[in-house]
């Protein structure tokens, strides 16, 4: 026996079949995406800058290799009534204990920059803790103060590092203005680069022994003054409690 099926019925059945298949595929994709989102951990961030209406910025110097320009940097900061934060590597502190104490004596802030300046994400948690804690102990023994702020060498961090810092009650610090003084730029070029990018709440990266930092620093400090921006220590810019950090690394103080 032959059954005659109308063309319209065939088309309707085919459409319904396709809709069922499409629905099943969509549901499967949603399940995969939801699983991926749930499995992927949230990226933890250090502080790159601070959202603030106050006219202030943080000028920072990383110190690892070399120290012969540091005294002159301190003199220039005094001359322009500016304060800064020095992130010190452990072996630098060991070679320059008196200079380390002088940085504090002149009213500046000292942060931790690791013991040996390694790429910390390549190390396990135990080694990361050692790199941080050895400097904390050295500074506590030398100055009586334990550092609150940490800057990862090379700006290289991951969730493991940020988690260790949180466990130790420390705050990771990056920057939103890179002077590129480490690239050998001339003093004028360094200053122009900083002053063209700086804004309220910026954190400026410099190095204590870069080739032309002593040429650039007076121009930077004068330029910041002309912009009405005060250079303050890290603890005067960055909140130490009641804050959040957005996806750009901007710290936002909570009321």
Q: Is 117 a catalytic residue?
A: no
HSE-CB for 115 with a 13 A CA cutoff: 12
Question: What separation in angstroms does the CA of 65 have from each of 88, 89, 210?
Answer: 10, 9, 9
DSSP state, residue 80 = T
Q: Which residue among the candidates 78, 207, 215, 246 is catalytic per the annotation? A: 207
Q: Is 108 a catalytic residue?
A: no
What is the rounded distance in angstroms from the CA atom of residue 167 to the CA atom of residue 147? 14
What is the rounded distance in angstroms from the CA atom of residue 63 to the CA atom of residue 219? 21
What is the rounded distance in angstroms from the CA atom of residue 174 to the CA atom of residue 49? 8
DSSP state, residue 86 = E
- Report the sign of the C-alpha dihedral through residues 121, 124, 125, 131, in that order: negative
What CA dihedral angle connects 237, 239, 243 and 244, to 10 degrees?
50
The residues annotated as belonging to the active site are 62, 207
């Amino acid at each position: 026996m032959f059954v005659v099926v109308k063309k319209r019925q065939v088309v309707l059945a085919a459409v319904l079949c396709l809709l069922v298949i499409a629905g099943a595929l969509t549901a499967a994709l949603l399940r995969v995406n939801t699983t991926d989102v749930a499995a992927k951990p949230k990226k933890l961030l250090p502080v790159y800058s601070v959202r603030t209406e106050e006219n202030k910025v943080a000028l920072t110097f990383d110190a690892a290799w070399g120290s012969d320009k540091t005294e002159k940097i301190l003199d220039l900061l005094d001359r322009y009534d500016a304060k800064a934060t020095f992130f010190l590597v452990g072996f630098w502190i060991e070679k320059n204990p008196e200079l380390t104490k002088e940085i504090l004596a002149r009213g500046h802030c000292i942060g931790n920059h690791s013991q040996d300046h390694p790429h910390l994400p390549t190390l396990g948690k135990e080694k990361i803790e050692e790199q941080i804690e050895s400097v904390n102990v050295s500074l506590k023994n030398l100055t009586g103060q334990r550092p609150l702020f940490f800057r990862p060498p090379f700006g290289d961090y991951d969730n493991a590092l940020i988690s260790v810092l949180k466990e130790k009650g420390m705050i990771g610090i990056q920057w939103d203005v890179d002077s590129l003084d480490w690239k050998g730029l001339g003093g004028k070029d360094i200053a122009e680069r900083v002053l063209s990018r700086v804004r309220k709440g910026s954190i400026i990266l410099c190095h204590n022994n870069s080739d032309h930092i002593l040429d650039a620093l007076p121009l930077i400090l004068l330029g910041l003054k002309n912009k009405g921006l005060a250079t303050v220590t890290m603890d005067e810019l960055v909140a130490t409690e009641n804050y959040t950090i957005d996806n750009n690394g901007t710290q936002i103080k909570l009321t």
